Amino acid sequence: MNALRGMISSLRRRPAVPEPVPSILDSYVKTAPSHQNAVDMFTGEWASKLPLNGLRSGELGLFDDDRVRWALDRLGDMSGRTVLELGPLEGGHTFMLNRAGAKVLAVEAHTRAYVKCLIAKEMLGMPRARFVLGDLNAHLTATNDTYDACFACGVLYHMRAPVQTLALISKVTRRLFLWTHYYDADIVNASDLLRPRFTTHEIVEHAGFPHTLHRFNYESALRLKGFCGGNAEHASWLSRADLFAALSHLGWHIDDIGFDAPDHPHGPALALIATRTP
């Protein structure tokens, strides 16, 4: 019995087998060069369907997006025009803007998304586009440059202070394409997906404009490698009324509204074109 106990005790003291240490050699590609090799650096993370036959990437048609075609139709000829694009994600809208003749500066804060933009540019060619890595609010605060238009598709509802972001956009351009989700209490409260994400509602003021921030929590989405939201654990949504009132307060006139989708599965959303008077 004592011998058995000694054997059990010895087994318990035996050090655990260490986990294998990854080798830098795992980062090498051992097949012939291909676009797929580059895309596979982010397997399972691509949102966009890249417009090359046979390429395995994402599912969303962001390189041929109806919202961007709608915006370009309303903004007119973009040949030689300068565009500031906020949050290019994987370069799909940048590709469309470049193809329309615009000169694009695209600001992306997510390091993985930034590299995917560079991959897309290398594969598809975007000679009039430049991608830079950094925070869009920091760029808007620091820059003295102005642009013929600003494209902000899918970014405003990821901001913690969206009215501040709109105010910063106002100093760099007089034409704006915006697509965003917005807060609607009735729709949110009726949705099992959305209702748990909104926890607090805070009245704040920016540039003399009082408005309500509806806190949206990312929760488990932050553990996904393909996460493409904001840079904090939560963002703030505006109501439709506050969004329109904020734009008006900042000197913007809404020229057109499209893609008005209160039943969007991820929350009510809309697109708009706005012009700012001097």
Alpha carbons 190 and 203: distance in angstroms, whole number: 23
Rounded to two decimals, what is the model's pTM?
A: 0.91
* Structure confidence by residue, pLDDT tens digits, 159-184: 999 999 999 999 999 999 999 999 99
Helices (H) and strands (E) in the chain, counts: 9, 10
Which stretches in the chain have pLDDT values below 70? 1-17
* Structure confidence by residue, pLDDT tens digits, 43-88: 999 999 999 999 999 999 999 999 999 999 999 999 999 999 999 9
Q: What is the pLDDT of residue 269?
A: 98
Q: What is the pLDDT of residue 220?
A: 87
Closest CA to 110 of 42, 164, 24: 42
Q: What is the pLDDT of residue 19?
A: 77
Q: Is the distance from CB of 67 to CB of 97 less than 8 angstroms?
A: no
**Which segments of 160-277 does DSSP mark as H helices, in order?**
162-170, 185-189, 240-249
Q: What is the pLDDT of residue 14?
A: 60
Q: Is the distance from CB of 100 to CB of 72 less than 8 angstroms?
A: yes
Q: What is the pLDDT of residue 226?
A: 79
Closest CA to 196 of 137, 267, 247, 140: 267
- Three-class HEC string of 23-44: CHHHHCCCCCCCHHHHHHHHCC
Domains of the chain with CATH codes: 62-276 (3.40.50.150)
